[in-house]
A and B are shown apart, each in its own frame.
Chain A
Amino acid sequence: MGYLIETRNITKRFGGLVAVDNVSLGVNAGEVVAVLGDNGAGKSTLIKMISGVYPSDEGKIFFNGQEADINSPMDALAIGIETIYQDLALAENLNVYSNIFLGREKTKKFMGFVPVLDHDYMHEEASKVLKKLDINIPSLRNNVRTLSGGQRQAVAISRSIYWNAKVLIMDEPTAALGVAQQKQVLDLVNTLKDHGIAVILISHQMHDVFEVADRIVVMRRGEKVGDLVKAETSTEEVVNLIVGSEMVK
């Protein structure tokens, strides 16, 4: 079976610095692949190329076996690649449903020609998707500012699911959360896996990675230095790869 999302020999340079060097990475539907690496190893740059924030300098991205032309976040969203960023990328002063619909608001015609926001529709749809994912948020009219870290994460994830994400990229999804909330998010990742979504997970937390990932990709100084099946590896091996005392092809 071919990969759902795949990068082939992808490279990104910032001036003289090669942030991502010739990286090939594939993820199947319903698979969780964790990308590990030290700070500055190029993890974030890699996912930003897949999600369309940075255009790649060399190499290609394939979606479902077809070459995908991703030049902006909108292109990525259009084919079903959704990203949940470290800082969550939610607008704090907007309410829950406005955030779920941000950038893709549903409008209706007022007096036949003026497009106005359809608040009721968005509210209803948002509550449906939260229910589907078993997420409990008191009022969807509350500003996101008033929510806890775990709830914000849940809002961000449900936004992706609502927009039919096929590939979900998560950048440090548990970094700012308490223990109980971390567990909720990891459970949610497992739910996503069951829904057949390809998940790319970036994390510093070895524990998280070993709990949910199927495969572990290690990056160092922009290069991919390891691609391991979780069941066949150990924390030790992964750590050695991250710090660079071992090389596995």
Chain B
Amino acid sequence: MGNSTISINRMQQFKERGLKYILAPAALIILYVFFGIFGRNYFSYPTLVNIINAAFYIGFIAMGETFIIITGGIDLSVGTVMMASTLIGGVALKHGFPMVPSLILIILVGTAFGTLNGLMVALIKMPPFIATLGTMMISMGVGSIVSNVQSATFPIRGHEGGWFKSIFLYLSPSGGMIPTGALLLLVVGVICHLMLSSTKLGRYTYAIGSNIEAARLSGVNVRKWQMMVYIISGVLAGIGGISYAAIYTTVLPAQGQGFELYAIAAAVIGGTSLAGGIGTIWGTVIGVFIMSVLATGLPSLNLQAHWQTFFTGVIVIGAVLLDMYRNKKASEVHIETPADKYKKKESEHIAELKRELVKEKSSGNSSRTAELRKELSSLQKELKAEYSRMKAEEKAAKARIREEERKAERDFAEMLNKKNQE
């Protein structure tokens, strides 16, 4: 009996959780297939490479954003920090810095801004929205000041230092394209996922987002771990900046604003809750690719870029609505009616018979197995009929009660009316 209840629990868990995990990937696949059928030339290798290329920089910053949103915070500065660090790296390159130190500098600048956010949020206890809004403006200003409001251009392929582009997109001499960056995104994704699921950092990230006071009282060093997630976000903004430079070569000082909103949108589409405590890296990656498929797919339907923003908005709202619906379902108190109890009891009985059947089958008792089979099918039929009958009865009873309540209300209102007229 113990076993069968567990399997029923598992089924229910799958129904609740499975739905949650399958929805976003399903949406991604449906979108991809949709554009493949209706778009021009969409099912092609270059398009796939385009999708991946469009996903990089948002992908990296969205992962960092996911960490922060799970702690219940928000980082509005990721986009401009990414651009500022890339600009600073570009300026260093222009002044004769070699390639590798320049790339490291980009990551360091990102980390520095992340640390600044962490200090403000974790130590000074500033609201993350305000703290990172400040950092967003500061980093944008810093980018413009350091670059003297001029664009930074990274070396193109074939020139000195141009090799770094191959980290994200490898072009073979024969003209083939290999999006090596997908591999890097995957590696960083796996590392982030493992950090969230299997380390103390991850456990505390969720704990802080669920109940920061509980985490503190349990002896978790909340400051330290809050600080950590903002630093991680800064590092990832740096990596995102490098990928941006590799794909687009030229970086403009005015760019970056708005990217943070795409990062937040990706996390939300992927099931991360802005209330904190809930979210996964995979969800976010899927969210990033959904936006990337939209960005590349809509032009293939002759719809221009502004349609992408429009549809992204629709999807974000849809994702949040779904999340709200699921939360409502999850927190609803489920009262077991006699019908549910009957079903549970009979299901257990059936599961027991099934196990016996398997046992008898393996011991080769054919007459007994046939008997059991017959019994099973009749039981299942009976369960189905009886359950639907009981459910219908309960529904009718509920409707009757509601009708009575309404009638009583009407009577009451009438009574009041009469009183008032008198």
A binds B: yes
- Which residues does A use to contact B, with CB under 8 Å? 51, 53, 72-74, 77, 83, 85, 87-94, 98, 102-105, 107, 110, 115-117, 119, 138-139, 145-146
14 cross-chain CB contacts under 8 A? A72-B219, A89-B213, A89-B214, A91-B206, A91-B207, A91-B210, A91-B211, A91-B214, A92-B210, A98-B207, A102-B203, A102-B207, A102-B215, A105-B203
Give the Cβ gap from A125 to chain B, nearest Cβ, in Å.
Answer: 16
Given A93-B206, A117-B198, are A102 and B220 also a contact pair (CB < 8 Å)? yes
Partner of A117, one of B199, B207, B216: B199
Q: Is B288 an interface residue (CB 8 A)?
A: no
Q: Is B278 an interface residue (CB 8 A)?
A: yes
Report how far A110 CA is from B198 CA in the complex, Å. 10
B216 touching A94 by the CB < 8 A rule?
no
Cβ contacts under 8 Å, A85 to chain B: 217
The closest CB in chain B to the CB of A53 belongs to B217
- Number of B interface residues at 8 Å Cβ cutoff, please give it: 24
A98 touching B203 by the CB < 8 A rule?
yes
Report how far A94 CA is from B207 CA in the complex, Å. 7
Report how far A211 CA is from B213 CA in the complex, Å. 31
Give the Cβ gap from A155 to chain B, nearest Cβ, in Å.
Answer: 12
Cβ contacts under 8 Å, A102 to chain B: 203, 207, 214-215, 218, 220
B213 touching A87 by the CB < 8 A rule?
yes
Cβ contacts under 8 Å, B213 to chain A: 87, 89
Give the Cβ gap from B149 to chain A, nearest Cβ, in Å.
Answer: 44
Report how far A98 CA is from B207 CA in the complex, Å. 9
Main SS class of interface, A? loop
A91 touching B219 by the CB < 8 A rule?
no
B277 touching A93 by the CB < 8 A rule?
yes
Report how far A70 CA is from B214 CA in the complex, Å. 19
Q: Is B330 an interface residue (CB 8 A)?
A: yes
Report how far A72 CA is from B219 CA in the complex, Å. 8
Report how far A116 CA is from B197 CA in the complex, Å. 9
Report how far A231 CA is from B57 CA in the complex, Å. 71
| Chain B window 315-347, contacts with chain A (Cβ cutoff 8 Å), 1 for yes, 0 for no | 000000000000000110000000000000000
Given A92-B210, A102-B218, are A145 and B330 also a contact pair (CB < 8 Å)? yes
Give the contacts of B168-199 with A (CB-CB under 8 A): 194, 198-199
